[in-house]
Structure 1
Amino acid sequence: MYRWIAAILGFALYRLPGAIVGFLLGSFLDNLGGAKRTGGYKQVFQQQRSDRVSPADFELNLLSLASLVIKADGKVSQAELDYVRQYFVQAYGKDRANAIFKVFNEVIKKREISGSRIGNVLRQRMRYESRLQVVHFLFSIANADGFVSNAEVNTIQGISVNLGIQNKDLESIKAMFFKNPDSAYKILEIDRTATIQEIKTAYRHMAKKYHPDKLQHMDEAYRKGAEDKFRKVQEAYEQLQKEKGF
């Protein structure tokens, strides 16, 4: 609550710099108020040192990364914009989503967005499995218009590096959006020469890594994205079962 009021007042008094400072100060006060209700000031500072980024920061950072993907190929796709808006409404509700977009348009959108800075922040404060879901979300945006361009892939790859995503995991998620003879193997992170036992072992490993239960701490829309990723792993395994006859 305080962060929105402080951002608006800061913008009115000092334009963009005031809005940014006001938003950050208001976010701190919101967290402080929550700490008073749930166990004191210590919790606020413990949260800052944990692997979780505050909700307000996460929402704006996620929207910023989404904007980089949408603009990557030099054109703005309405299908991609609609996908992002639908996701935020589903995850946070219509009123909160509209507030997020309003702050983004008034404050963040007017300055250059740094994918490297955002990636570094999220890498330090988010669990690895949650960062994997961010990458999956970005590919889903790029695919919303039915085609993932090379420019979009390059942008997502750059963001993934800053998020600290391992290349094999990036290629696995990427393969979920490109259909070719090697897709099932890439999703399971194995070579075409893999034995049946290696395929089974890889499936168990990937099913455990991408299991939706690992994202129970995140919003429902994120968990649904995890379910989609988990389903792709299952489909890849079933495809190889048919190909190899086991």
Structure 2
Amino acid sequence: MSFGKWIGASLGWSFGGPIGAIIGLALGSMVDSFSSGKEEYTSGRTQQGRRPNYRTQQQRRAQTTSGDFEVSLLILASVVIKADGKQDQRELDYVRQQFVSMYGKERANNAFRLFKNISSQKIPLRQVCLQIQQMMDHASRLQLMHFLFGIAKADGMVTADEEKTIYTIAGYLGISSRDYESIKSMFYNSSDNAYKILEIPKSATVEEIKKAYRNMAKKYHPDKVLHLGKEHQKGAEEKFRQVQEAYEQLQKERGF
């Protein structure tokens, strides 16, 4: 599949707003001839009907496509990778590995052609995140956060600058502090991680632990992101597995 056809067929709401502007600028810088890609890009829009305009959808959330999620992740990943003032090759390799795993080599290569041009831009982070918050469902935004921490941890540790950037992104995305700490704890080792993952205090009773587990298992269930396609199930299953492990750890510690 050519680049123009790939991006034309993959995106929904992200054609508009600040994300659309970033994509447009990146496409304009592509080595690939945009004159031929442009026709495919336009036909991709026509084949799926008129694309919703970002400004007209602030009161009605459109369903996020796999492509919308993919582009949002690429843009936010470019911000996180540069948060500590450098682009670590291990983090870049992690992003590529994740994309190959999710989308296959050809689509991953297309994504990275776009990523290189996105990375050279100055990203209006708040505006991008506000568009994502308005247009993307909560479960998908949690999935984005999980990927961002995975990228930051790819070089062995999450630096203070990377954590600060991800925290800022979480705030702009409308992620609660409890959800943020839950996902963050999946990438750190500490004695109270299991409690943080389940979003409960260490003083929680056995019944409160059981209730929290049921709530978190529902929140992080892979079915919540089925609309993103099977390529995103692996990441969702990883979050779900860590919730299960946190609960099993507390079962052993508390003896229930």
Q: Is this a same-fold pair by TM over 0.5?
A: yes
Distance 2:69 2:175 in 1: 18
Distance 1:138 1:18 in 2: 24
CA contact (8 A) 1:3 1:29 kept: no
Q: 1:189 aligns with which of 189, 199, 202?
A: 199
Question: Aligned letter for 2:176?
Answer: Q
Q: Deviations over 1:157-184 (max 9, x none)?
A: 1111111111110010011111111111
Question: Aligned letter for 2:115?
Answer: F
Question: Aligned letter for 2:199?
Answer: E
Q: Deviations over 1:20-60 (max 9, x none)?
A: 8x78996554122133xxxxx5xx44996543345545433
Question: Aligned letter for 1:228?
Answer: E
CA contact (8 A) 1:3 1:24 kept: no
Aligned in 2, Cα 1:231/1:54: closer, same or farther, shift over 3 Å?
closer
Mind listing any 5+ residue stretches in structure 2 that lack a counterpart? 8-23
Aligned length: 229
Alignment of 1:84-233 (within 5 A): 84-106=95-117, 108-233=118-243
CA contact (8 A) 1:84 1:141 kept: yes
Distance 2:77 2:27 in 1: 25
Aligned in 2, Cα 1:51/1:24: closer, same or farther, shift over 3 Å?
farther
CA contact (8 A) 2:26 2:114 kept: no
Question: How much identity, in percent, do the aligned residues show?
Answer: 50
The 3-state SS of whatever aligns with 1:217 is helix
Distance 1:114 1:46 in 2: 19
Distance 1:26 1:123 in 2: 29
CA contact (8 A) 1:72 1:152 kept: yes
Alignment TM-score, normalising by the size of structure 2: 0.79
Distance 2:26 2:97 in 1: 30
Distance 2:202 2:101 in 1: 39
Question: Aligned letter for 1:73?
Answer: D
Distance 2:84 2:222 in 1: 31
Q: Tell which structure's C-alpha radius of gyration is larger.
A: 1
Q: 1:243 aligns with which of 233, 237, 253?
A: 253
CA contact (8 A) 1:87 1:221 kept: no
Question: Aligned letter for 2:89?
Answer: Q
Question: Aligned letter for 2:177?
Answer: N
- Higher fraction of helix: 1
Runs of 4+ with deviation above 6 angstroms: 22-26
Paired residue for 2:4? 4
Question: Aligned letter for 1:204?
Answer: R
Paired residue for 1:38? none
Q: CA deviation at 1:82?
A: 0.9
More contact order relative to length (CA 8 Å, sep ≥ 6): 2
Q: CA deviation at 1:68?
A: 1.2
Distance 1:25 1:116 in 2: 32
Aligned in 2, Cα 1:144/1:16: closer, same or farther, shift over 3 Å?
closer
The two structures, once aligned, show a CA RMSD in angstroms of 2.9
Paired residue for 2:63? 52
Mind listing any 5+ residue stretches in structure 1 that lack a counterpart? 8-14, 36-40
CA contact (8 A) 2:64 2:137 kept: no
Aligned in 2, Cα 1:85/1:2: closer, same or farther, shift over 3 Å?
closer
Distance 1:189 1:25 in 2: 49
